[in-house]
Amino acid sequence: MSLNKCLEIFLKYWPSFLLGIKTTLFVSLIGTIIGLLIGLLVGGLRAINVDDNSSKLKKFLKKIFNLISTLYIEIFRGTPMMVQAVFIYYLVYTNIIPWDKVVAAIFVISINTGAYMSEIVRSGIQAVDVGQKEASRALGVSNIDTMLHVILPQAIKNAFPAIGNEFIVNIKDSSVLMIISITELMFQSNSIAGTTYRFSETYFVTACIYLLMTSIASFILHKIEKSLSHTTTSLPQSDTNFSSISLAKEENS
């Protein structure tokens, strides 16, 4: 493998790579955002507690919802996204409607991400100290306002590193969507390698581009995370020791 050859391939085929980058970023960004919305809905509902005082109907609905959402989460986390992509794409294509590949790709990456996000959001919500929820209820604020204005903002902030990580993962893992031939970076690289017959050089360029994208994304996410924790902290009281330990570590390194 020669670096010169890599550069040559990049210079010659950069428009193809660029299209790949665009598609990859587009699919993974939209997929992460829709996945987060799914996660907020599913994880938010999963975090609702029913206790002895709840009505029978509420308990019943909660049970049904838990069952369905657990199935959803386990199935999508327990099977490869590549398999999900081909299965769902062809299932819909042949049985329902011949849909656009990019739409299919966004659909698959969204529900796949949603499965992970649901658990991230649920644990983020459960990490918010219950005292604040009680205080809000005691003030006569409705459950929905309490959720939207007290719990979720803190849950999202708590979970922000994990949420951001899903975006990074999606940048990389959207490569499996080449299986349904959308023009994301991996698919483009395959075509380029197929024309040049320079496999190691082409994929070296591809790897560099992925690394660059994930590095930039993680840099930006880090900035956002910092600005979130600048003015406030939502760690429950019992966690303050933990946060000072991790601070001390950062200072040492």
Partner 1 sequence: MSIIEIKDVKKNFHNLEVLKGVSFNVEKGEVVSIIGPSGGGKSTLLRCLNCLETYDSGSIKVIGEDLKEIKDMNSFRQKVGMVFQQFNLFANMNVLNNCIFAQTKALKRNKDEAKKIALENLQKVGMEKFINAYPNTLSGGQKQRVAIARAISMNPEILLFDEPTSALDPEMVEEVLNVIRSLVNKGLTMIIVSHEIDFVRDISDKIIFMDDGIVAESGSPKEIFTNPKNERTKVFLRKVIRN
Assess 48 for contact with partner 1 (CB under 8 A).
no
Assess 163 for contact with partner 1 (CB under 8 A).
no
Taking the least distance from each CB to partner 1, the nearer of 142 and 200 is: 142
CB 60, min distance to partner 1, A: 20
What are all long-range contacts of 203-207, with beta carbons under 8 Å and residues at least 24 apart? Answer: 204/1, 204/6, 205/6, 205/9, 205/10, 205/17, 206/17
Q: Which of 101, 153, 221, 225 binds partner 1 (CB under 8 A)?
A: 153
Which residues inside 105-144 make contact with partner 1, applying CB under 8 A?
Answer: 129, 131-132, 134-142
Contacts of 117 (CB under 8 A, 6+ apart): 35, 36, 38, 39, 40, 42, 43, 163, 166
Query: In this structure, are residues 205 and 6 in contact, taking their beta carbons and an 8 Å threshold?
Result: yes
- Token representation of residue 29: 């960004």
Taking the least distance from each CB to partner 1, the nearer of 11 and 138 is: 138
Assess 170 for contact with partner 1 (CB under 8 A).
no
Assess 246 for contact with partner 1 (CB under 8 A).
no
The footprint of partner 1 on this chain (CB under 8 A) covers a number of residues equal to 26
**Strand extents, DSSP E, the chain:** none
Query: In this structure, are residues 247 and 229 in contact, taking their beta carbons and an 8 Å threshold?
Result: no
CB 193, min distance to partner 1, A: 49
Segment near partner 1 (CB under 8 A); pick from 26-34, 59-67, 148-156, 164-172: 148-156
Instruction: Determine the Cα–Cα distance for residues 172 and 20; give it in Å rounded to an integer.
Output: 12
Assess 3 for contact with partner 1 (CB under 8 A).
no
Assess 157 for contact with partner 1 (CB under 8 A).
yes
- Token representation of residue 55: 């009505």
- Token representation of residue 140: 């006569």
- Token representation of residue 77: 């986390």
Assess 79 for contact with partner 1 (CB under 8 A).
no
User: At 23, which amino acid appears?
Assistant: T
Taking the least distance from each CB to partner 1, the nearer of 51 and 251 is: 51
* Residue ranges that bind partner 1, judged by CB under 8 A: 52-53, 129, 131-132, 134-142, 145, 149-150, 153-154, 157, 231-235, 237
